[in-house]
Structure 1
């Protein structure tokens, strides 16, 4: 079961970083390269506890649908989304936010189980884990870019 841990320091307050991290709209911006669209559930705004979103995106040459749900939530320090339906056997993505001098430490813990048994494990070691890690890093860079500028106001102040 692969586990990806990424820590990103962001020079912004925790509430802004937390809200950007749960913004469906910012997620769309951070995944433009995969043509990701929210097609069901919460399709815009800030996702809340017990809400779900279904994404349609092109990954590794194939269009896929994935539904995830916010299964745990403690504003503004933690939330967790877990796959309900999708290409993985399962995944759990924990988002942890800590106050640091001059900003926020955002920590992602992403644990997943690939489908297809031994073939899935081979895919993990050959390319999938790195692919997922790169997606999370790119997403975090967009969160950082918006949080450290006035761009965040375009995302979390709109109705």
Structure 2
């Protein structure tokens, strides 16, 4: 089974504290997820983020299919990073690292997601047609929404790459 990685960097003219306050609030995930995904938080987002926190969502990754997605916040370093891992959901593996660091004129937000697709060779075949395309769309949407909320640093280009191992 192949391992895939999505790597995204975005820069915004805000403080690290403001970025952390927004990104570490699980309720804000709905704000930066496209409406067509039917994303709803079912439970676990009623407290500030902490290691061991379980958050349950309902999501429709494509039309006609809705699933539960359960993630655990496994690591948190206040103001710097947090990690969420899928415990139940559409992926065979989902390990998502979120980093925030100060840069000249603002903050850089970096996402590194390591994931595996279920269903063996069929999943590998479907990945470039559906999953990769959808993840690019979701992160492009996030970039647009975050830019609407916080503005954009013109000196630092945003980056999005997807690769497989």
Task: Give TM class, smaller chain.
Answer: 0.7 to 0.9
Identify the residue that residue 11 of structure 1 maps to in structure 2: 13
Q: CA deviation at 1:45?
A: 5.6
TM-score by structure 2 length?
0.81
Identify the residue that residue 105 of structure 2 maps to in structure 1: 102
Q: Structure 1 CA distance, aligned partners of 2:71 and 2:143?
A: 18
Q: Structure 2 CA distance, aligned partners of 1:139 and 1:46?
A: 22
Q: Structure 2 CA distance, aligned partners of 1:57 and 1:83?
A: 13
Across the aligned residues of Structure 1 and Structure 2, the Cα RMSD in angstroms comes to: 1.8
TM-score by structure 1 length?
0.84
Q: CA deviation at 1:144?
A: 3.7
Task: Specify which structure has the bigger relative contact order, considering alpha-carbon pairs within 8 angstroms and separated by 6 or more residues.
Answer: 2
Q: Structure 2 CA distance, aligned partners of 1:5 and 1:83?
A: 17
Of residues 22, 25, 30 in structure 1, which corresponds to 2:24?
22
- Residues 1:17 and 1:144: Cα distance change in structure 2 (over 3 Å): farther
- Contact 1:83 1:90 (C-alpha < 8 Å) held by counterparts: yes
Of residues 126, 132, 137 in structure 2, which corresponds to 1:134?
137
Q: Structure 1 CA distance, aligned partners of 2:139 and 2:67?
A: 18
Identify the residue that residue 37 of structure 1 maps to in structure 2: 40
Q: Render the CA deviation track for 1:89-113: whole Å, top value 9, x for unaligned.
A: 1101111111101100111101110
- Residues 1:33 and 1:126: Cα distance change in structure 2 (over 3 Å): closer
Q: Render the CA deviation track for 1:11-63: whole Å, top value 9, x for unaligned.
A: 10011112211222221122233221111222x46433221211101111111
Give the length in aligned residue pairs. Answer: 148
Q: Structure 2 CA distance, aligned partners of 1:23 and 1:73?
A: 12
**Structure 2 alignment gaps of length 5 or more:** 152-165
- Residues 1:130 and 1:45: Cα distance change in structure 2 (over 3 Å): farther
